Amino acid sequence: MNAPLAPDLPDEAAASRWEWESLNGSISEELRRHVAEIVAREAGRLTTLFYDTLLEDPEAAAMLSHELVSHRLNHSLRRWLKDLFPLEAAPDFAAAARLQRQVGEVHARIRVPLHLVTRGARVLKGGIARCLSQTSLPRDELVETLSYASHILDLAMEMMATAFIEGTERATRNEEAYRLFSLGQDASLEREAQRAALLEWLQSLLFAVAGRNEATRLHSIGRSEFGLWMQHRASVMFGGIPALQRITQLMREIDEEILPGIEQGCEIGPALQRLQAHANDIKFLIGDAFQAVVGLENGRDALTRTLNRRFMPSIFAREIAMATQSGRGFAALMIDFDHFKAINDTFGHSGGDVVLSRGAELIMDAVRLSDFVFRYGGEEFLVLLVEADANLAMRTAERIRATIDAAEFVVGEQRNLRVTTSIGVAVFEGHPDYTYLVERADKALYAAKKAGRNRVILG
Amino acid sequence: MNAPLAPDLPDEAAASRWEWESLNGSISEELRRHVAEIVAREAGRLTTLFYDTLLEDPEAAAMLSHELVSHRLNHSLRRWLKDLFPLEAAPDFAAAARLQRQVGEVHARIRVPLHLVTRGARVLKGGIARCLSQTSLPRDELVETLSYASHILDLAMEMMATAFIEGTERATRNEEAYRLFSLGQDASLEREAQRAALLEWLQSLLFAVAGRNEATRLHSIGRSEFGLWMQHRASVMFGGIPALQRITQLMREIDEEILPGIEQGCEIGPALQRLQAHANDIKFLIGDAFQAVVGLENGRDALTRTLNRRFMPSIFAREIAMATQSGRGFAALMIDFDHFKAINDTFGHSGGDVVLSRGAELIMDAVRLSDFVFRYGGEEFLVLLVEADANLAMRTAERIRATIDAAEFVVGEQRNLRVTTSIGVAVFEGHPDYTYLVERADKALYAAKKAGRNRVILG
């Protein structure tokens, strides 16, 4: 553990190095060499076993079957085994760690699912264990070699997995940035440009149909500028929206059913009608899709301007880390508007909306710039008070309750509607999982409701 | 493999279930029970071993030492072991899988590094192996039980890791969204609000100093609205910018050195001078930090409006997946402006900038809406042509080369500067790692340079 680490290895490698070195130090050189000889002798057969087993799995087969991959992998798998179990001397930690990191990074880049990699490792591990148990080693030495080989493979997999996860996090971060970047582009401009591209395709198609002869090949919508944009660009923007699948299906029907029919010259009239209907549907669905993403993808709740609860895990994790380090706590307030259903029933949803948006404003005014206000559910808000103890949290909660209790809401004709809130307070007690804190605040809120509403309870 | 999966288990569980069931089916009931009895008997000692080993590692100790965690974990670790090796009958796959998923999700939420979890698993595995080898089992049966126990633990760890990675990806996506959301807030408004908060703190401090008596406690900058905002909000926005560390340090010096000095009444004059200098530095650094993030965080290169190369991995991965599925390829063009250094030397950097921004415009005009143009390096651009074969790629590259060759650039006084480009072309050949494709395009570009520049070469 005292030896300096290679500069390109992360800190956690210190513990791995220690484990690696004590593992390699604890086995006799004779037994270590025995394992290495068996692995070297069987490397070819182990590689074949690896392939034969993984190719039975369709998901793995799809990844491994590419010729370039199998050629390179076959070679590098043998080398990988021989490097982990070298004949000459105990394997060098820094070299082994570097190799595992490289492999893990490639796996992350080409998105090999981790379970395929660990499955492959189990195949190799099982194969090596079988070879070892078929030798004439006595019981104790067999146990020792088995545990040594399995431990080496486990350590290698751990280093690979660590690099894999880092690479995956980096890739995920870039993907999310790209998705949000695509959304942040000027959506209305983009919508018009794409509508125009669709119309252009339709127009050139109609000209081709009007002047067609037998040799005319109609341009597919899938390969048009519009179609390419839909597949290669819009899928990021609209990812997960049902309209996207529907558009893809309509385009496929145009290309695979309608256009071939027109080319063959049969029933042109109905085919053109169907084409027009499909094109209109696509135009409509695109408008819809643009509308949907604009509404969905704000960091703030559109009605109340409070934070999207999607950010809760990140923000709580940061505050937990800071609180654990600094020893200064923080608190969560769970705020619920009392009898909200009655407000909705009496004044309609727009009345309820007024109460929520004005209420959220009052909450945000009652806390500091550095605190966080989330829309937690329908009429529930969650406030994270940074650097707060029970005292400050209770005072803030009471201020929020009193402010809302005293405020007059203007809902339609009624200019002085009064509403109240119940608030549950919970102070961070050190548990690293933020959901415990939120649960405690929620229970305290429930207690405040049960005790008659319009009150604050510390959980 | 035919049994229906529990609805909350992902597809890849089919292969795990098959492995799980054949593993549990291959060992005799007597031996399986033997392992289960040993684990049940030793569960307490294994848990102690787990703790004693992990607490030696400072990183693990920091996570495990919280009382709530150790209390819960101690209990759940014993249960976890007994559930994996139940006395009654072979463990049920669906139940085991669900449990591992839950554990993996919690680990992701509280950010336990994977290597700590795998290290813990190795401790347990080694402990169980030692217990088994201390029994009187004959050689063959010992090998069988050792491999069984290790295989069960490996499968459990795989399921846990899969859920862990999914949870980590989700968390990473939310974190990135939050970071970009924080950046997207109106930065100039935020800057003025924070400048005002800083001035407010300074003013109230000066009033307190002017009218102070011995009991006066001065308000720390760290706990002021400004200080809290810096720590809890700005750190997300400015994450990784050196100015942030410097501001934190200046604030710490104010709180830990300057203010205590003033409170003790010694050398007020110099202390106030130092305070003013610190406050000015902070104001200056914040202005700088805001400036830096505005420039850095665009999806597009500020000069050329081409895409940030940060998006390359995401976009290539998507195109590779689509191409592999559809069988339709795509291509990469690596474009470099010839003799760019000479342009910079003759016309200065602003001259070079004109060439790059006008050149990028010409490139973007020469490709389709669905293609991607990245700023790859100083004077290098990378174009991804979707759904393109060698033919289309070469025609497009040639069009770009000819357009730029024919264009007259207006650089300062000179209204008709001519520049040329060299272009390397590579067509996707099926390798899942996009860096191979980029490398081939790069080599082709190098060949085009060597062959005399102002030409296109297919790699």
- pLDDT tens for residues B169-183? 988 888 888 777 776
Q: How many CA atoms does the CB half-sphere of A137 hold within 13 Å?
A: 23
Contact B316, B434 (CB under 8 A): yes
Residue A367 scores a pLDDT above 80: yes
User: What is the model's pLDDT at position B36?
Assistant: 95
User: What is the model's pLDDT at position A99?
Assistant: 92
Distance CA A247, CA A283 (A): 9
pLDDT in tens, B117-167: 999 999 999 999 999 999 999 999 999 999 999 999 999 999 999 999 999
B425 sits in which H/E element: strand B421-427
Question: B433 to chain A nearest CA, in Å?
Answer: 5
User: By C-alpha distance, which of A441, A458, A429, A423 is closest to A330?
Assistant: A429
Contacts of B169 in chain A (CB under 8 A): 168-169, 172
User: What is the model's pLDDT at position B283?
Assistant: 87
A13-181 carries CATH number 1.10.490.10: yes
CB contact (8 A) between residue A66 and residue B197: no
Average pLDDT over residues A364-369: 87
- B-contacting residues in A 239-298 (Cβ below 8 Å): none
Distance CA B450, CA A396 (A): 71
Single-letter amino acid code for the residue at A128: I
Contact B167, B175 (CB under 8 A): no
For residue A48, give both structure tokens: 């074949």
Distance CA A91, CA A16 (A): 14
Q: Where are the domains of chain B?
A: 13-181, 187-296, 309-458
Give yes or no for B137 touching A (CB within 8 A): no
ipTM above 0.90, yes or no: no
Which residue positions in chain B have pLDDT lower than 70?
Answer: 1-12, 65-69, 183-189, 213-215, 239-240, 292-298
* The domains spanning B13-181 and B187-296 adopt the same CATH topology: no
Instruction: Assign B339 to helix, strand or coil.
Output: coil
User: By C-alpha distance, which of A136, A132, A155 is closest to A144?
Assistant: A132
Q: Nearest residue of B to residue A127 by CA position?
A: B147
For residue B20, give both structure tokens: 């799980």
A291 sits in which H/E element: helix A268-296
Question: CB neighbours of A34 closer than 8 A, spacing ≥ 6?
Answer: A135, A137, A145
Give yes or no for A225 touching B (CB within 8 A): yes
CB contact (8 A) between residue B111 and residue A16: no
User: What is the model's pLDDT at position A203?
Assistant: 84
CB contact (8 A) between residue B432 and residue A110: yes
Contact A423, A456 (CB under 8 A): yes
- Work out the angle between the directed axes of helices A139-184 and B312-326 (0-180°, nearest 10): 100
> Which residue among B59, B172, B386 places its CB closest to the CB of A173?
B172
Question: A92 to chain B nearest CA, in Å?
Answer: 20
Residue in B151, B370, B372, B428 to test binding to A, most A beta-carbons within 10 Å? B370
Distance CA B173, CA B175 (A): 5
Give yes or no for A19 touching B (CB within 8 A): yes
Tell me the pLDDT band of A267, cut-offs 50, 70 and 90: confident
Question: CB neighbours of B39 closer than 8 A, spacing ≥ 6?
Answer: B46, B81, B82, B84, B85, B128, B131, B149
Question: CB neighbours of A113 closer than 8 A, spacing ≥ 6?
Answer: A59, B12, B162
pLDDT-wise least confident of A213-222, A240-249, A436-445, B96-105: A213-222
- Architecture field, domain B309-458: 2-Layer Sandwich (3.30)
pLDDT in tens, B67-113: 666 777 888 899 999 999 999 888 889 999 999 999 999 888 888 88
User: What is the model's pLDDT at position A432?
Assistant: 83
Contacts of A256 in chain B (CB under 8 A): none
What is the CATH T-level fold of the domain A187-296, as seen in this structure? Four Helix Bundle (Hemerythrin (Met), subunit A) (1.20.120)
E strands, A261-341, where?
Answer: 331-337
Instruction: Assign A123 to helix, strand or coil.
Output: helix
Question: B413 to chain A nearest CA, in Å?
Answer: 36
Question: CB neighbours of A257 closer than 8 A, spacing ≥ 6?
Answer: none
Contacts of B109 in chain A (CB under 8 A): 313, 317, 433-435
Distance CA A106, CA A108 (A): 5
Residue A410 scores a pLDDT above 80: yes
Distance CA A215, CA B94 (A): 59
